[in-house]
Amino acid sequence: SPYKKIAFVGYNGAGKTTLLNIIGGLDHYDYGDLIINETSTKEYKDRDWDTYRNHRVGFVFQSYNLITHQSVLANVELALTLSGVSKKERKKKAKAALEKVGLKEKVLNLPRGIYTPVTREFDRDGISFSGGERQRLVIARVFASNRDIYILDEPTSSLDPLAEEKINKLIMNQDKEKTMIIIAHRLSTVVDADIIYLIRKGKIIEKGKHEELMKLKGQYSI
C-alpha cells in the first residue's frame, strides 16, 4: 500500500538490506517477483530502472558522506543537481528540507547561513556539526529530492539510543504522501511504524503493528 511507514527488523544477516536493495532497484532477484503499481519489474527495461532509481526512490545508508569542503546548501541540494530544477528552486527546497529535520533555525542563524561550510577543515567559518546533526543533513538531502519512496537502511545505527529514537520518530512523522521504508537498529525506534516485518533467514516470520506483535509474544517481543 502507498504512503505507509514500513519497518524491517531482525538479526544481522537476516536479509533485510538485501531486500531493501531489491525494492530500491539496486540489486536483482533470482526468483519471486517485485510488483510496483501492479506491474512486474520483470518487464522493466534499463531505462525503466533508471527512472525508478533516479526519480522515484531516495536512499539513506549506514555509511554516508558529507562534502566537507562545500556548504550546507551544496550538501542538501546534492540530490537536485541533475534534476533540472533552477538554482532558486533548489535553495527553496533545501531550506524546506532543513526545516523538516529541525536544522533550519540553527543554520540560518549562522554568520554565513546556508552557505556555511559543513566543517572547519577547509574554512575557519565552517561549523562542526554533531553526529546527530550530520545525520539530519543527510536525511534533509533525501527529503529535498522529493521522491515517492524513501529507503533508510539503519541510518542512525552509530548514534546513541536517544538520538536514534529522536531521528527515527522524525522520519516516521514526515510527509503523509510518502512511503517510508526503514531498517531499524533498535526495536524501540519502530513503534510508530504502520507495519513492522520481522525477517529471519530471508523470510518474513511475523508482521503487524508494534502493539500487535508484542501481544503475539513471538520472536519480536523477545
- Return the pLDDT at 157: 66
Rounded-to-integer distance, Cα 139 and Cα 58, Å: 10
- Return the pLDDT at 211: 92
Q: How far is CA 96 from CA 129, 137, 154, 173, 216, in A?
A: 19, 12, 24, 15, 41
Residues of the chain with pLDDT under 50: none
- Return the pLDDT at 61: 79
Rounded-to-integer distance, Cα 116 and Cα 72, Å: 6
- Return the pLDDT at 199: 92
Grid cell in block for residue 31: 526468483
User: How many other C-beta atoms lie within 10 A of the C-beta of residue 180?
Assistant: 21
Rounded-to-integer distance, Cα 58 and Cα 148, Å: 8
User: How many other C-beta atoms lie within 10 A of the C-beta of residue 3?
Assistant: 13
- Going by C-alpha positions, the residue among 143, 130, 136 that lies closest to residue 177 is 143
- Return the pLDDT at 158: 65
